[in-house]
Chain A
Amino acid sequence: VWGSACGVSAFSLGSPAARRAIDGALARFGRAVGSVLGAVLLTLVYVIVVTPTRFVRRLTGADDLHLRDADRASYWLPCDTDARKVRYVGAMFATEVRRSGGHPLRTALILAASFVLLAEGIARMFGFGHPVLYVADPDVGYYPEPDVHVVRYGGLVATNRFGMRSPDVTPSKPPGVFRILMLGDSTLWGGSYIDQEDLYSSQLLARMNSEGLPGKVEVLAMSANGWGPFHERGFVKKFGVFGADLALIQMPIDDINRPLYGLMSVPFFATGAPPRFALEEEMNTLIWSYRSRHAGLDERWELRQSQYGIHEYGRLADDLHGAGCEVMLFLHPTQSPGFGGDEGHREATWTHQLEDTLAEHGVKVQLARGVFAGKGTVKEIYYDNMHLNPTGHHVYAEFIEGRIKADSTRFQRWASGQLAEKDRP
């Protein structure tokens, strides 16, 4: 190609006539290509837009060309008023008498059906209709379907063979690997449709492996939207800790109010019963949201349930310790403490209770107070009062990394090569 181009160029440089001929030929070629492309594009428009329009118009009874009303007593049609014609003399469109659109009910039905189809199409474009499904489990309540690959709002949601939003891992820990098991709710799952790469668990994995450590670090992020301590404990009991050296419990304080419940209490679809339509998924969420707002928590119930929840976190810590893990608990801050402000009274009270209880079980609560200050605006960090945006995830990953390096004795020993295999789970 380059040889031909150079040859043609040299030839054209030598002769103006040849140059004109080449120019002309290329222009004709370009015009022909343009015409063909234009024709192809317009044909697509004709097939995809104009042709369906015909059938929709026919269904709605539209007959702008008056092809199907030959039995009228008179074919004259009224003209628009003179005054309106004068008023719009500057416009490139003509004014016309407004005509009734045939059968209103039929038109409304067709329009409604068209709207539904359009909404379904748009929802599917955003990934709806193909959500992450959940396995209903009598012990865990529910957990994400393994081996899922879903794109939603441009973000990838993928699970490994255990339903973790992490790279695939072997059931048993390979030699030399330091394995971290993270357990949590939507804040860890990335409930605001955070892309897989931006999750703080993924970021933590990347950060931990970027430095000169004696071996590979694996991060197993097991979580689900709506999970609480009972779900996490159920999961650990049923599936174990995968040989994790370090277990990180990730929670916002409200998680203490979550008892064990199954898919009937959350707007998720079970494996084997996926949504048939994108709109079905959206309607399911809307209905759940409406019902939740109108059947919300009662303060007395919260008071009682929070005690159960805090107690359960203690028992989770025990379970993890019992499985050989070192345990850390990261209390995910809401916006105010995240930027160095105060928690609300209720949040502060529960935090103190949680700290006291977990201390009894040998676990220190890590609250990321003020960790986001100076790292971005509220909008950049938080998606809502609790969930984080990608920037927030990155900052939070840095915080967790720092705490692990500072507070995890097992990690420190492993990193310095002093952790013997016999001391590990």
Chain B
Amino acid sequence: VNILGISALYHDSGACLVRDGDLVAAAQEERFTRKKHDAGIPTNAAAYCLHEGKVGKNDLDLVMFYDKPITKFTRLLTSYSEVAPSGLSPFLKAVPVWLKDKAWVAYQIESALQGLGYRPRAVEFAEHHISHAASAFFPSPFKEAAIITVDGVGEWTTTSVGVGEGSSVKLLLEHRFPHSLGLLYSAFTYFTGFKVNSGEYKLMGLAPYGEPVYADRIKDKLVSIREDGSFHLDMSYFGYLNDLKMTNDRFAELFDGPARKPESPIGKREMNLARSIQVVTEEIMQKIARFARAITGKKNLCLAGGVALNCVSNGKLVRSRLFDDIWVQPAAGDAGGALGAALYAWYRVLGKPRKTDERHDAMKGGFLGPGFSREQVKKFLDMNELPYEELEDGPRNELLAKALSEEKVVGLLQGRMEFGPRALGGRSIIADARSVKMQSYLNLATKFRESFRPFAPIVLKEDAPEYFEVVHESPYMLMVDQVRKERCKPQPEAPEAGKDGGIDLKEWVNTPRSDVPAITHVDYSARIQTVDEERNPRLHALLRAFKAVTGYGILVNTSFNVRSEPIVCTPEDAYRCFMRTGIDILVLDNFVLHKQKQPEWTESSNWKDEFGLD
């Protein structure tokens, strides 16, 4: 049975092919269209999945959409009828889009698939948080587990607690719009000058620079939190019900002035706000987890939804030891809903049995996207007359290890592309974690992004305890842990704000904090990806080669893209990014390209204009 899961029309659309319960392929549309967070019908991603699975034109049994569009529209209208006559602006903006596009999603999907030559036997719809819950539980290694899904909003649900057992997923309790932890976090994202549905990572990364001085104010005024983790927002501070903005004047008054303008200097207030909302988020997540444990009695936890990408909160959940084990869906955002919807159809709707060895998850390391054969890569290089050398894995790794140890930056495209927001070594930029200048260099010269943003380490799984306190397994880079104390170095006081209120974060960032400073955040934390031989043998071998040269089985790993650009998909994307940025060496599987040997790269226009602000 071939089931195609689809998520689309809001943000991060994606497609996933499940055949007889097996995850065959999954990809996000943005990787093909090169449009960050592309929300369109994922025609390219669906085409890839169907091609990867070699699905015959008449063999597509079911298409599952990850959402219930009519209920979502009803929620929209109900919200307007709660705030009218204010709220006209968002009404005028939203309703035409709904009437024109979103209400006809089934037709759009069928049309797109017919354009590819497929005629699905049925199109069905799973609820948004059911899709998230299914994406969290079914691929997990657990036979049974508590489930928590938290995001901005689905149809009505914003947060849910459920339980997974065998081939069933049940949601027990929920929060409904507008009371949303995801939207609360997004309100602060907006207020601190970052883009909603995109800049939440930045806010999380900014948090360690600040102090939680606003946490009590948030809890007193914005959100009432009960001991069972349930919460209630005071909507008089928020704009998203009746305006095109997330927050309103009352919110600004509460937090000492207007929202920060995008791209303006970041001041102490923004850092403190970031830290405060992070602390509140963690508190709520802790309480929800404790409650979930109590009402389900399960010893394992599965997480999904956009808030489950808050790896700082995830790390604290792990360290709290509320659960024996925690598994987070790597594509926890909306794209992962496609995967969840497809698995829900297989296990719950079709009632198929589910088996797990309780050790391995079903995500195949997250490498569910397109891969390129030796012939395809070689053809690309030869056609474009690009100088390269082809090396076996051993020599290649030795060469790369040496280059990395000399502070060279390597762009790595090997095997299949990752599904989800994280680059896990398939489409990554890697560098030496010991380098003091590396964080600043990668941010400013390679990725062209804000200097304060941290980088994550990839570490040999067997070496993780040498570097980190508690988290010893995190194959999908979804947990933050503290760098071991003995590796850390004392830091000077935070720098004072300049005349414009901004703080020179570059200087702060360049202060060494440990013997692996490039991956040690200012609070000595790090977002860890452990690499094991079973899931990711080639990356594991590269880390071992680097360790052989330097004694450190750890590297910086960041996504292979620049700011606002989707992660690269094809060798062509990778080469373009390589030539535009400060990457020194490009690896396309076994082909190695050195920057200094490449022909001069020219473009007719400023390529940075191609991508908007993220």
Contacts and interface: CB of A to CB of B under 8 A. Distances in A.
Contacts of B106: 92
A94 interface: yes
A89 B349 contact: yes
B68 A78 contact: no
Given A77-B175, A89-B124, A65 B79 contact: yes
Q: Interface majority SS on B: helix, strand, loop or mixed?
A: mixed
Contacts of B82: 54, 57, 64-65, 67
B68 A91 contact: yes
Contacts of A78: 172-174
A77 B174 contact: yes
Contacts of B232: 66, 70, 72, 75
B92 A42 contact: yes
A90 B122 contact: yes
A89 to B, nearest CB: 5
Contacts of A47: 85
A92 B69 contact: yes
Contacts, number: 121
A85 interface: yes
A287 interface: no
A82 interface: yes
Interface string A32-68: 0000001100110011001101100100000011110
Nearest to B351: A86
Interface string A69-98: 010111111110010011001111110100
Interface string B542-553: 000000000000
B81 A73 contact: no
Nearest to A64: B78
A94 B156 contact: yes
A75 B172 contact: no
Contacts of A64: 78, 82
Contact of A92 (B125, B226, B349): B125
Contacts of A51: 84-85
Contacts of B170: 79, 82
Contacts of A94: 68, 71, 127, 155-156
Contacts of A65: 78-79, 82, 176-178, 235, 241
A75 B124 contact: no
Contacts of B393: none
B96 A42 contact: yes
A43 to B, nearest CB: 7
A77 B77 CA distance: 21
A47 to B, nearest CB: 7
A69 B168 CA distance: 33
Nearest to A34: B96
Given A53-B84, A54-B82, A79-B174, A96 B156 contact: yes
Contacts of B81: 50, 53-54, 57
Contact of B234 (A70, A72, A89, A90): A70
Contacts of B348: 82, 86
B230 to A, nearest CB: 4
Nearest to B68: A94
B74 interface: yes
Given A65-B82, A70-B234, A77-B174, A86 B349 contact: yes
Contact of A50 (B77, B179, B231): B77
Interface in A1-54: 38-39, 42-43, 46-47, 50-51, 53-54
B160 interface: yes
Contacts of B156: 94, 96
A64 B80 CA distance: 11
Contacts of B161: 76
A387 B360 CA distance: 85
A79 to B, nearest CB: 4
Interface residues of B, number: 57
Contacts of B175: 75-77
A60 B377 CA distance: 66
A87 B517 CA distance: 54
A46 B68 contact: no
Most buried by A among B122, B126, B127, B160: B127
A89 B228 contact: no
B108 interface: no
Contacts of A46: 80, 84-85, 88, 91-92
Nearest to A47: B85
Contact of A54 (B84, B92, B231): B84
B125 A91 contact: yes
A73 B162 CA distance: 20
B224 interface: yes
Nearest to A87: B349
Given A42-B96, A67-B82, A91-B68, A76 B88 contact: no
Nearest to B85: A51
Contacts of A54: 81-85
A8 B68 CA distance: 49
B95 interface: yes
Chain B CB within 10 A, most for which of A42, A82, A89, A94 = A94
Interface in A181-229: none
A93 B155 CA distance: 9
A42 B95 contact: yes
Nearest to B341: A89
B112 interface: no
B92 A39 contact: yes
Contacts of A93: 68, 70-71, 74
Nearest to A75: B230
B171 interface: yes
B152 to A, nearest CB: 15
A47 B168 CA distance: 46
Interface string B218-250: 000000101010111011000001000000000
Contacts of A96: 71, 156
Nearest to B100: A38
Interface string B121-158: 01011110010000000000000000000000001110
Contact of B345 (A57, A76, A89, A91): A89
A39 B92 CA distance: 6
B144 to A, nearest CB: 15
Given A82-B168, A92-B106, A94-B155, A76 B228 contact: yes
Contacts of B96: 38, 42
A73 B226 CA distance: 7
A79 B172 CA distance: 5
Output the residue of B81, B155, B156 with the most chain A CB within 10 A. B81
Interface string B176-198: 11110000000000000000000
21 contacts: A46-B80, A46-B91, A50-B77, A50-B84, A54-B84, A65-B78, A65-B176, A67-B178, A70-B234, A76-B228, A78-B172, A79-B173, A82-B168, A85-B127, A89-B349, A90-B122, A91-B70, A92-B70, A92-B105, A93-B70, A94-B68
Interface of B: 68-71, 74, 77-85, 88, 91-92, 95-96, 105-106, 122, 124-127, 130, 155-157, 160-162, 168-179, 224, 226, 228, 230-232, 234-235, 241, 345, 348-349
5 closest A-B pairs by beta carbon, nearest first, are A75-B230, A94-B71, A51-B84, A76-B173, A79-B171
